[in-house]
Chains A and B, each alone.
Chain A
Protein backbone atom coordinates (compact mmCIF):
# COMPACT_ATOMS: atom_id res chain seq x y z
CA UNK A 1 0.00 0.00 0.00
CA UNK A 2 1.21 3.44 -0.84
CA UNK A 3 -1.37 5.18 1.32
CA UNK A 4 0.87 7.39 3.31
CA UNK A 5 -1.64 9.77 4.80
CA UNK A 6 -0.96 8.41 8.24
CA UNK A 7 -3.19 11.11 9.65
CA UNK A 8 -6.24 8.88 9.08
CA UNK A 9 -6.80 5.48 10.62
CA UNK A 10 -7.69 2.44 8.51
CA UNK A 11 -11.40 2.71 9.17
CA UNK A 12 -11.54 6.36 8.10
CA UNK A 13 -9.55 5.50 4.98
CA UNK A 14 -11.85 2.57 4.18
CA UNK A 15 -14.96 4.77 4.47
CA UNK A 16 -13.27 7.44 2.39
CA UNK A 17 -12.00 5.15 -0.36
CA UNK A 18 -15.23 3.13 -0.54
CA UNK A 19 -17.94 5.36 0.90
CA UNK A 20 -21.29 3.80 1.71
CA UNK A 21 -24.53 5.45 0.55
CA UNK A 22 -22.88 7.97 -1.76
CA UNK A 23 -24.88 9.52 -4.58
CA UNK A 24 -28.44 10.56 -5.34
CA UNK A 25 -31.51 9.24 -3.59
CA UNK A 26 -34.53 8.96 -5.84
CA UNK A 27 -37.61 10.79 -4.59
CA UNK A 28 -36.24 11.63 -1.16
CA UNK A 29 -38.70 12.58 1.56
CA UNK A 30 -36.35 15.20 2.92
CA UNK A 31 -32.94 16.75 2.31
CA UNK A 32 -30.50 18.47 4.67
CA UNK A 33 -27.49 20.58 3.70
CA UNK A 34 -24.69 21.95 5.75
CA UNK A 35 -21.49 23.83 5.03
CA UNK A 36 -20.43 25.74 1.95
CA UNK A 37 -17.90 25.15 -0.80
CA UNK A 38 -16.41 28.51 0.18
CA UNK A 39 -15.42 26.97 3.51
CA UNK A 40 -14.00 23.92 1.80
CA UNK A 41 -16.72 21.49 2.74
CA UNK A 42 -20.39 20.99 2.08
CA UNK A 43 -22.55 18.01 2.85
CA UNK A 44 -25.99 17.02 1.65
CA UNK A 45 -27.94 14.16 3.19
CA UNK A 46 -31.18 12.91 1.64
CA UNK A 47 -33.50 10.55 3.52
CA UNK A 48 -36.52 8.35 3.00
CA UNK A 49 -38.80 7.97 6.00
CA UNK A 50 -41.59 5.55 6.79
CA UNK A 51 -43.48 5.54 10.10
CA UNK A 52 -40.89 7.87 11.60
CA UNK A 53 -38.10 5.44 10.71
CA UNK A 54 -35.33 6.36 8.27
CA UNK A 55 -35.52 3.63 5.65
CA UNK A 56 -32.80 4.94 3.35
CA UNK A 57 -30.20 7.70 3.23
CA UNK A 58 -27.71 8.95 0.69
CA UNK A 59 -25.11 11.68 0.83
CA UNK A 60 -23.22 13.99 -1.48
CA UNK A 61 -20.18 15.73 -0.09
CA UNK A 62 -17.68 18.30 -1.30
CA UNK A 63 -14.88 17.99 1.17
CA UNK A 64 -11.77 16.30 2.42
CA UNK A 65 -11.20 12.66 3.32
CA UNK A 66 -12.71 12.95 6.78
CA UNK A 67 -15.79 14.81 5.51
CA UNK A 68 -16.51 11.98 3.08
CA UNK A 69 -15.80 9.31 5.70
CA UNK A 70 -18.05 11.10 8.21
CA UNK A 71 -20.85 11.25 5.63
CA UNK A 72 -20.44 7.55 5.00
CA UNK A 73 -20.73 6.47 8.66
CA UNK A 74 -23.44 9.02 9.42
CA UNK A 75 -25.69 7.67 6.67
CA UNK A 76 -24.84 4.09 7.67
CA UNK A 77 -25.85 4.78 11.25
CA UNK A 78 -29.14 6.57 10.64
CA UNK A 79 -30.59 3.99 8.26
CA UNK A 80 -33.10 1.85 10.15
CA UNK A 81 -33.24 4.27 13.07
CA UNK A 82 -36.20 6.31 14.26
CA UNK A 83 -36.04 10.07 13.72
CA UNK A 84 -35.58 10.54 17.46
CA UNK A 85 -32.72 8.08 17.57
CA UNK A 86 -31.02 9.72 14.61
CA UNK A 87 -31.43 13.11 16.27
CA UNK A 88 -29.64 11.84 19.37
CA UNK A 89 -26.45 11.28 17.38
CA UNK A 90 -23.78 13.91 17.82
CA UNK A 91 -20.58 14.40 15.91
CA UNK A 92 -18.86 12.43 18.67
CA UNK A 93 -21.06 9.43 17.82
CA UNK A 94 -19.67 9.52 14.29
CA UNK A 95 -16.09 10.08 15.44
CA UNK A 96 -16.36 7.09 17.78
CA UNK A 97 -17.77 4.97 14.98
CA UNK A 98 -14.79 5.99 12.81
CA UNK A 99 -12.35 5.15 15.58
CA UNK A 100 -11.24 8.77 15.89
CA UNK A 101 -10.39 11.72 13.66
CA UNK A 102 -7.29 13.95 13.80
CA UNK A 103 -7.94 17.08 15.89
CA UNK A 104 -8.18 19.59 13.03
CA UNK A 105 -10.68 17.31 11.28
CA UNK A 106 -13.26 17.12 14.06
CA UNK A 107 -15.04 19.89 12.20
CA UNK A 108 -15.98 17.44 9.44
CA UNK A 109 -17.95 15.25 11.83
CA UNK A 110 -19.85 18.31 13.03
CA UNK A 111 -20.84 18.86 9.43
CA UNK A 112 -22.36 15.37 9.34
CA UNK A 113 -24.27 15.95 12.56
CA UNK A 114 -25.72 19.16 11.14
CA UNK A 115 -26.61 17.67 7.77
CA UNK A 116 -28.49 14.82 9.48
CA UNK A 117 -30.28 17.26 11.75
CA UNK A 118 -31.21 19.49 8.82
CA UNK A 119 -32.59 16.57 6.82
CA UNK A 120 -34.79 15.52 9.74
CA UNK A 121 -35.81 19.14 10.32
CA UNK A 122 -36.85 19.33 6.66
CA UNK A 123 -38.94 16.18 7.09
CA UNK A 124 -40.52 17.46 10.31
CA UNK A 125 -41.41 20.77 8.63
CA UNK A 126 -43.05 19.02 5.70
CA UNK A 127 -45.07 16.72 7.94
CA UNK A 128 -45.84 19.06 10.81
CA UNK A 129 -43.97 16.81 13.23
CA UNK A 130 -42.82 18.00 16.61
CA UNK A 131 -39.69 16.17 17.59
CA UNK A 132 -38.04 16.49 20.98
CA UNK A 133 -34.58 16.68 19.46
CA UNK A 134 -35.52 19.63 17.25
CA UNK A 135 -36.98 21.89 19.93
CA UNK A 136 -35.77 25.42 19.38
CA UNK A 137 -33.67 24.33 16.42
CA UNK A 138 -33.34 26.75 13.56
CA UNK A 139 -31.19 25.51 10.68
CA UNK A 140 -31.02 28.97 9.18
CA UNK A 141 -28.98 30.06 12.18
CA UNK A 142 -25.31 29.32 12.19
CA UNK A 143 -24.91 25.94 13.80
CA UNK A 144 -23.23 26.47 17.10
CA UNK A 145 -20.81 23.94 18.29
CA UNK A 146 -17.91 24.40 20.60
CA UNK A 147 -15.60 22.38 18.41
CA UNK A 148 -16.53 23.94 15.12
CA UNK A 149 -14.05 26.45 13.85
CA UNK A 150 -15.23 29.39 11.88
CA UNK A 151 -14.69 29.38 8.18
CA UNK A 152 -12.22 32.13 7.52
CA UNK A 153 -13.28 34.14 4.48
Chain B
Protein backbone atom coordinates (compact mmCIF):
# COMPACT_ATOMS: atom_id res chain seq x y z
CA UNK B 1 0.00 0.00 0.00
CA UNK B 2 1.09 3.52 -0.72
CA UNK B 3 2.36 5.51 2.26
CA UNK B 4 1.85 9.24 2.21
CA UNK B 5 3.54 11.13 5.00
CA UNK B 6 1.99 14.58 5.37
CA UNK B 7 3.28 15.47 8.80
CA UNK B 8 6.62 17.14 8.07
CA UNK B 9 5.92 19.65 10.85
CA UNK B 10 6.10 16.77 13.32
CA UNK B 11 9.43 15.59 12.04
CA UNK B 12 11.34 14.99 8.81
CA UNK B 13 13.40 12.06 7.58
CA UNK B 14 17.17 12.53 7.73
CA UNK B 15 18.50 13.29 4.25
CA UNK B 16 20.90 10.74 2.79
CA UNK B 17 23.74 13.25 2.49
CA UNK B 18 23.17 14.25 6.11
CA UNK B 19 23.31 10.70 7.40
CA UNK B 20 26.42 9.91 5.36
CA UNK B 21 28.20 12.85 6.86
CA UNK B 22 27.14 11.84 10.37
CA UNK B 23 28.13 8.19 10.30
CA UNK B 24 31.93 8.48 10.73
CA UNK B 25 31.37 10.41 13.96
CA UNK B 26 29.96 7.29 15.59
CA UNK B 27 33.11 5.30 14.86
CA UNK B 28 36.42 6.38 13.31
CA UNK B 29 35.92 10.08 14.06
CA UNK B 30 34.88 9.42 17.66
CA UNK B 31 37.18 11.96 19.27
CA UNK B 32 36.05 14.32 22.01
CA UNK B 33 36.33 17.94 20.83
CA UNK B 34 37.74 18.88 24.24
CA UNK B 35 40.76 16.57 23.84
CA UNK B 36 44.09 18.09 22.93
CA UNK B 37 45.34 15.53 20.42
CA UNK B 38 44.66 14.68 16.79
CA UNK B 39 41.21 13.12 16.76
CA UNK B 40 40.02 15.56 19.43
CA UNK B 41 41.32 18.62 17.60
CA UNK B 42 39.80 17.36 14.36
CA UNK B 43 36.48 16.90 16.10
CA UNK B 44 36.71 20.45 17.42
CA UNK B 45 37.37 21.77 13.96
CA UNK B 46 34.44 19.79 12.49
CA UNK B 47 32.22 20.97 15.33
CA UNK B 48 33.01 24.54 14.43
CA UNK B 49 32.43 23.91 10.76
CA UNK B 50 28.92 22.71 11.68
CA UNK B 51 28.52 25.85 13.76
CA UNK B 52 29.56 28.00 10.83
CA UNK B 53 27.03 26.28 8.57
CA UNK B 54 24.18 26.94 10.99
CA UNK B 55 25.36 30.53 11.41
CA UNK B 56 25.41 31.05 7.66
CA UNK B 57 21.85 29.77 7.27
CA UNK B 58 20.51 32.50 9.56
CA UNK B 59 22.95 35.34 8.94
CA UNK B 60 24.67 35.03 12.30
CA UNK B 61 28.30 34.85 13.36
CA UNK B 62 29.77 31.45 14.11
CA UNK B 63 30.34 32.21 17.78
CA UNK B 64 26.69 33.16 18.22
CA UNK B 65 25.50 29.57 17.71
CA UNK B 66 25.22 27.28 20.74
CA UNK B 67 24.31 23.66 20.25
CA UNK B 68 21.65 22.12 22.50
CA UNK B 69 19.92 18.76 22.77
CA UNK B 70 16.74 19.97 21.05
CA UNK B 71 14.48 22.92 20.32
CA UNK B 72 12.81 22.51 23.70
CA UNK B 73 16.11 22.96 25.51
CA UNK B 74 16.82 26.07 23.44
CA UNK B 75 13.43 27.55 24.41
CA UNK B 76 13.90 26.69 28.08
CA UNK B 77 17.39 28.13 28.11
CA UNK B 78 16.43 31.39 26.41
CA UNK B 79 13.46 32.11 28.64
CA UNK B 80 14.71 30.87 31.99
CA UNK B 81 18.22 32.12 31.24
CA UNK B 82 16.89 35.60 30.53
CA UNK B 83 14.88 35.52 33.74
CA UNK B 84 18.05 34.70 35.68
CA UNK B 85 20.19 37.24 33.86
CA UNK B 86 17.71 40.12 34.08
CA UNK B 87 16.23 39.54 37.51
CA UNK B 88 17.58 42.86 38.75
CA UNK B 89 15.89 44.77 35.92
CA UNK B 90 12.46 43.25 36.10
CA UNK B 91 10.19 40.25 36.30
CA UNK B 92 7.88 40.62 33.32
CA UNK B 93 7.84 38.50 30.16
CA UNK B 94 5.63 38.92 27.10
CA UNK B 95 4.74 35.95 24.94
CA UNK B 96 1.70 34.71 23.03
CA UNK B 97 -1.05 32.20 23.64
CA UNK B 98 -0.05 30.06 20.68
CA UNK B 99 3.54 29.28 21.61
CA UNK B 100 4.91 25.77 21.77
CA UNK B 101 4.58 24.10 25.15
CA UNK B 102 8.37 24.32 25.54
CA UNK B 103 7.88 28.06 25.80
CA UNK B 104 4.55 28.18 27.63
CA UNK B 105 5.59 25.72 30.29
CA UNK B 106 8.89 27.55 30.81
CA UNK B 107 6.86 30.71 31.42
CA UNK B 108 4.54 28.88 33.82
CA UNK B 109 7.59 27.59 35.65
CA UNK B 110 8.81 31.16 36.10
CA UNK B 111 5.37 32.36 37.20
CA UNK B 112 5.66 30.02 40.17
CA UNK B 113 8.84 31.89 41.09
CA UNK B 114 7.04 35.22 41.02
CA UNK B 115 7.62 36.29 37.44
CA UNK B 116 4.74 37.88 35.58
CA UNK B 117 3.86 36.77 32.10
CA UNK B 118 1.59 38.44 29.55
CA UNK B 119 0.18 35.95 27.07
CA UNK B 120 -0.85 37.98 24.03
CA UNK B 121 -4.05 37.05 22.22
CA UNK B 122 -4.02 36.31 18.52
CA UNK B 123 -6.66 37.26 15.99
CA UNK B 124 -8.85 34.74 14.18
CA UNK B 125 -6.04 34.15 11.68
CA UNK B 126 -3.45 33.51 14.37
CA UNK B 127 -1.54 36.81 14.27
CA UNK B 128 -0.56 38.82 17.32
CA UNK B 129 -1.31 42.54 17.43
CA UNK B 130 1.73 44.83 17.48
CA UNK B 131 -0.35 47.42 19.32
CA UNK B 132 -1.19 44.88 22.03
CA UNK B 133 2.47 43.98 22.23
CA UNK B 134 3.61 47.54 22.71
CA UNK B 135 0.82 48.20 25.21
CA UNK B 136 1.90 45.20 27.26
CA UNK B 137 5.43 46.51 27.75
CA UNK B 138 6.21 47.88 31.21
CA UNK B 139 9.44 49.10 32.77
CA UNK B 140 9.72 45.62 34.27
CA UNK B 141 9.61 43.80 30.93
CA UNK B 142 12.79 41.80 30.34
CA UNK B 143 11.85 39.55 27.44
CA UNK B 144 9.57 39.35 24.44
CA UNK B 145 9.31 35.80 23.12
CA UNK B 146 7.09 35.30 20.09
CA UNK B 147 7.36 32.25 17.87
CA UNK B 148 8.46 32.83 14.28
CA UNK B 149 5.90 30.46 12.80
CA UNK B 150 3.28 28.32 14.47
CA UNK B 151 3.50 24.55 14.34
CA UNK B 152 -0.24 23.88 14.03
CA UNK B 153 -1.63 26.59 11.80
CA UNK B 154 1.63 27.75 10.21
CA UNK B 155 1.04 31.45 10.92
CA UNK B 156 4.16 33.57 10.45
CA UNK B 157 4.34 36.48 12.88
CA UNK B 158 5.59 39.99 11.99
CA UNK B 159 9.06 39.22 13.35
CA UNK B 160 10.85 42.28 11.98
CA UNK B 161 8.28 44.63 13.52
CA UNK B 162 8.46 42.79 16.84
CA UNK B 163 12.25 43.09 16.73
CA UNK B 164 11.96 46.85 16.18
CA UNK B 165 9.58 47.26 19.11
CA UNK B 166 11.86 45.20 21.35
CA UNK B 167 14.88 47.25 20.34
CA UNK B 168 13.07 50.54 20.85
CA UNK B 169 12.30 49.56 24.44
CA UNK B 170 15.64 47.91 25.14
CA UNK B 171 14.08 44.49 25.70
CA UNK B 172 15.57 41.21 24.54
CA UNK B 173 13.66 39.44 21.79
CA UNK B 174 13.63 35.66 21.56
CA UNK B 175 11.86 33.69 18.84
CA UNK B 176 11.19 29.98 18.50
CA UNK B 177 12.06 29.37 14.85
CA UNK B 178 11.87 25.59 14.99
CA UNK B 179 9.11 25.52 12.35
CA UNK B 180 10.29 28.52 10.37
CA UNK B 181 13.84 27.40 9.70
CA UNK B 182 14.25 26.26 6.06
CA UNK B 183 10.67 27.41 5.35
CA UNK B 184 11.23 31.15 5.65
CA UNK B 185 14.43 33.03 4.78
CA UNK B 186 15.80 34.21 8.12
CA UNK B 187 18.46 36.84 8.70
CA UNK B 188 18.71 37.37 12.46
CA UNK B 189 20.55 40.68 12.17
CA UNK B 190 18.05 42.22 9.78
CA UNK B 191 15.14 40.95 11.87
CA UNK B 192 16.50 42.27 15.17
CA UNK B 193 16.45 38.87 16.88
CA UNK B 194 18.47 38.49 20.09
CA UNK B 195 17.91 34.76 20.62
CA UNK B 196 16.47 32.13 18.33
CA UNK B 197 15.66 28.44 18.90
CA UNK B 198 16.26 25.86 16.18
CA UNK B 199 15.93 22.11 15.82
CA UNK B 200 17.65 19.70 13.43
CA UNK B 201 14.91 17.14 12.93
CA UNK B 202 12.53 19.66 11.36
CA UNK B 203 15.03 20.43 8.60
CA UNK B 204 15.87 16.86 7.51
CA UNK B 205 18.52 16.44 10.18
CA UNK B 206 18.59 14.05 13.14
CA UNK B 207 16.53 14.11 16.33
CA UNK B 208 18.23 14.97 19.60
CA UNK B 209 20.03 18.11 18.52
CA UNK B 210 19.10 21.77 18.31
CA UNK B 211 20.70 25.15 18.66
CA UNK B 212 20.17 28.51 20.25
CA UNK B 213 21.39 31.62 18.49
CA UNK B 214 22.46 34.13 21.11
CA UNK B 215 23.45 37.51 19.78
CA UNK B 216 26.86 38.79 20.75
CA UNK B 217 26.40 40.95 23.84
CA UNK B 218 23.38 39.02 25.11
CA UNK B 219 24.54 37.06 28.11
CA UNK B 220 22.45 34.40 29.80
CA UNK B 221 23.77 31.92 32.36
CA UNK B 222 24.52 28.33 31.50
CA UNK B 223 21.62 25.94 31.80
CA UNK B 224 23.79 22.93 32.48
CA UNK B 225 26.50 22.73 35.11
CA UNK B 226 29.69 21.05 34.02
CA UNK B 227 32.58 21.48 31.62
CA UNK B 228 33.63 24.40 29.45
CA UNK B 229 31.96 23.27 26.23
CA UNK B 230 30.21 25.74 23.92
CA UNK B 231 32.32 28.64 25.10
CA UNK B 232 31.38 27.81 28.73
CA UNK B 233 27.72 28.45 27.98
CA UNK B 234 26.42 24.90 27.58
CA UNK B 235 28.18 22.12 29.45
CA UNK B 236 28.21 18.49 28.37
CA UNK B 237 30.20 16.55 25.79
CA UNK B 238 28.97 17.54 22.38
CA UNK B 239 26.63 15.21 20.48
CA UNK B 240 29.05 15.08 17.57
CA UNK B 241 27.08 12.93 15.08
CA UNK B 242 23.97 15.01 15.80
CA UNK B 243 25.73 18.36 15.51
CA UNK B 244 27.46 17.30 12.30
CA UNK B 245 24.02 16.27 11.03
CA UNK B 246 22.51 19.63 11.96
CA UNK B 247 25.41 21.40 10.24
CA UNK B 248 24.95 19.42 7.05
CA UNK B 249 21.17 19.84 7.13
CA UNK B 250 21.70 23.60 7.54
CA UNK B 251 24.09 23.69 4.61
CA UNK B 252 21.62 21.82 2.40
CA UNK B 253 18.79 24.02 3.67
CA UNK B 254 20.63 27.13 2.64
CA UNK B 255 21.39 25.74 -0.81
CA UNK B 256 17.89 24.36 -1.47
CA UNK B 257 15.59 26.77 0.32
CA UNK B 258 14.18 28.41 -2.79
CA UNK B 259 13.32 25.09 -4.46
CA UNK B 260 12.02 23.66 -1.21
CA UNK B 261 9.64 26.55 -0.59
CA UNK B 262 8.39 26.40 -4.16
CA UNK B 263 7.89 22.63 -4.06
CA UNK B 264 6.09 22.35 -0.72
CA UNK B 265 3.91 25.41 -1.30
CA UNK B 266 2.81 24.30 -4.77
CA UNK B 267 1.82 20.88 -3.46
CA UNK B 268 0.15 22.39 -0.41
CA UNK B 269 -1.86 24.75 -2.62
CA UNK B 270 -2.82 21.91 -4.95
CA UNK B 271 -3.86 19.78 -1.98
CA UNK B 272 -5.97 22.58 -0.48
CA UNK B 273 -7.63 23.34 -3.80
CA UNK B 274 -8.47 19.66 -4.35
CA UNK B 275 -9.86 19.12 -0.86
CA UNK B 276 -11.93 22.32 -0.94
CA UNK B 277 -13.36 21.54 -4.37
CA UNK B 278 -14.14 17.88 -3.66
CA UNK B 279 -15.45 18.00 -0.10
CA UNK B 280 -18.21 20.39 0.96
CA UNK B 281 -18.10 22.29 4.23
CA UNK B 282 -14.37 22.25 4.77
CA UNK B 283 -12.68 25.34 6.22
CA UNK B 284 -9.08 26.40 6.71
CA UNK B 285 -7.58 27.47 10.04
CA UNK B 286 -5.07 30.32 10.06
CA UNK B 287 -3.92 32.99 7.66
CA UNK B 288 -3.23 31.94 4.06
CA UNK B 289 -1.17 35.07 3.50
CA UNK B 290 1.27 34.76 6.40
CA UNK B 291 1.74 31.03 6.44
CA UNK B 292 4.45 28.39 6.33
CA UNK B 293 4.74 27.10 2.75
CA UNK B 294 3.96 23.43 3.46
CA UNK B 295 1.27 23.85 6.13
CA UNK B 296 -2.48 23.52 5.77
CA UNK B 297 -4.95 23.00 8.59
CA UNK B 298 -8.46 21.94 7.61
CA UNK B 299 -11.69 21.81 9.56
CA UNK B 300 -13.64 18.80 8.29
CA UNK B 301 -16.94 19.87 9.78
CA UNK B 302 -19.15 17.24 11.50
CA UNK B 303 -16.45 14.63 12.01
CA UNK B 304 -14.01 14.10 14.82
CA UNK B 305 -10.29 14.31 14.15
CA UNK B 306 -9.09 11.10 15.73
CA UNK B 307 -11.48 8.88 13.78
CA UNK B 308 -10.37 10.63 10.59
CA UNK B 309 -6.70 10.09 11.51
CA UNK B 310 -7.29 6.41 12.24
CA UNK B 311 -9.02 5.80 8.93
CA UNK B 312 -6.32 7.74 7.07
CA UNK B 313 -3.69 5.74 8.90
CA UNK B 314 -5.34 2.55 7.67
CA UNK B 315 -4.84 3.90 4.14
CA UNK B 316 -1.23 4.87 4.80
CA UNK B 317 -1.86 8.61 5.08
CA UNK B 318 -0.27 10.33 8.05
CA UNK B 319 -1.26 13.68 9.54
CA UNK B 320 -2.14 15.12 12.97
CA UNK B 321 -5.12 16.64 14.74
CA UNK B 322 -5.92 19.31 17.29
CA UNK B 323 -8.77 17.24 18.63
CA UNK B 324 -8.74 16.45 22.32
CA UNK B 325 -9.53 12.80 21.73
CA UNK B 326 -6.18 12.14 20.14
CA UNK B 327 -4.05 13.77 22.80
CA UNK B 328 -2.88 11.97 25.89
CA UNK B 329 -4.14 14.84 28.02
CA UNK B 330 -7.62 14.87 26.40
CA UNK B 331 -7.40 18.65 26.11
CA UNK B 332 -8.03 20.32 22.77
CA UNK B 333 -5.32 22.32 21.03
CA UNK B 334 -4.43 25.55 22.87
CA UNK B 335 -3.56 27.11 19.51
CA UNK B 336 -6.99 26.51 17.99
CA UNK B 337 -8.60 27.63 21.26
CA UNK B 338 -6.65 30.89 20.97
CA UNK B 339 -8.23 31.44 17.53
CA UNK B 340 -11.58 31.35 19.40
CA UNK B 341 -12.59 28.47 17.20
CA UNK B 342 -15.76 26.74 18.45
CA UNK B 343 -14.85 23.50 20.22
CA UNK B 344 -16.64 21.26 17.74
CA UNK B 345 -14.46 22.74 15.00
CA UNK B 346 -11.31 22.20 17.04
CA UNK B 347 -12.23 18.53 17.30
CA UNK B 348 -12.65 18.47 13.52
CA UNK B 349 -9.29 20.07 12.70
CA UNK B 350 -6.47 18.23 10.95
CA UNK B 351 -3.01 19.53 10.11
CA UNK B 352 -1.16 18.38 7.02
CA UNK B 353 2.35 19.43 6.03
CA UNK B 354 3.99 18.71 2.71
CA UNK B 355 7.74 18.17 2.48
CA UNK B 356 10.64 17.62 0.13
CA UNK B 357 9.65 14.00 -0.55
CA UNK B 358 5.97 14.70 -1.23
CA UNK B 359 4.84 14.16 -4.82
CA UNK B 360 1.78 15.19 -6.78
CA UNK B 361 0.78 11.50 -6.93
CA UNK B 362 0.92 11.40 -3.12
CA UNK B 363 -1.51 14.30 -2.99
CA UNK B 364 -3.84 12.72 -5.57
CA UNK B 365 -3.91 9.48 -3.57
CA UNK B 366 -4.48 11.30 -0.28
CA UNK B 367 -7.30 13.41 -1.71
CA UNK B 368 -9.03 10.37 -3.21
CA UNK B 369 -8.93 8.49 0.09
CA UNK B 370 -9.80 11.47 2.28
CA UNK B 371 -12.89 12.18 0.17
CA UNK B 372 -14.13 8.63 0.85
CA UNK B 373 -13.24 8.70 4.53
CA UNK B 374 -14.96 12.02 5.17
CA UNK B 375 -18.06 10.75 3.38
CA UNK B 376 -18.07 7.58 5.47
CA UNK B 377 -17.71 9.42 8.77
CA UNK B 378 -20.24 12.09 7.90
CA UNK B 379 -22.74 9.38 7.00
CA UNK B 380 -22.64 8.19 10.61
CA UNK B 381 -22.34 11.64 12.19
CA UNK B 382 -25.44 12.74 14.13
CA UNK B 383 -24.57 16.41 13.65
CA UNK B 384 -24.12 16.22 9.89
CA UNK B 385 -27.78 15.34 9.50
CA UNK B 386 -28.84 18.07 11.89
CA UNK B 387 -26.76 20.68 10.13
CA UNK B 388 -27.85 19.89 6.62
CA UNK B 389 -31.51 19.17 7.22
CA UNK B 390 -32.20 21.21 10.32
A interface residues (Cβ-Cβ under 8 A, vs B): 2-5, 13, 16-17, 19, 22-24, 33, 37-44, 59-65, 67-68, 104-105, 107, 149, 152-153
Contacts and interface: CB of A to CB of B under 8 A. Distances in A.
Interface of B: 1, 3, 302-307, 309-311, 313-316, 323-326, 328, 330-332, 342-344, 347, 379-383, 385
Contacts of A65: 306-307, 310
B311 A63 contact: no
Contact of B331 (A3, A37, A152): A152
A42 B302 CA distance: 11
Given A41-B325, A62-B382, 13 more contacts: A2-B3, A2-B314, A2-B316, A13-B310, A16-B307, A40-B323, A40-B324, A40-B325, A40-B347, A60-B380, A61-B380, A63-B325, A64-B305
Contact of B326 (A4, A43, A64, A153): A64
Contacts of B332: 40, 152
A13 B311 CA distance: 10
**Interface residues of A: mostly helix, strand, loop or mixed?**
mixed
A2 B344 contact: no
Contact of B325 (A2, A33, A64, A153): A64
Contact of A23 (B304, B310, B323, B380): B380
B382 A42 contact: yes
A63 B310 contact: no
Contacts of A41: 304, 325
A19 B344 contact: no
Contacts of A22: 379-380
Contacts of A16: 307, 310
A62 B383 contact: yes
Contacts of B306: 64-65
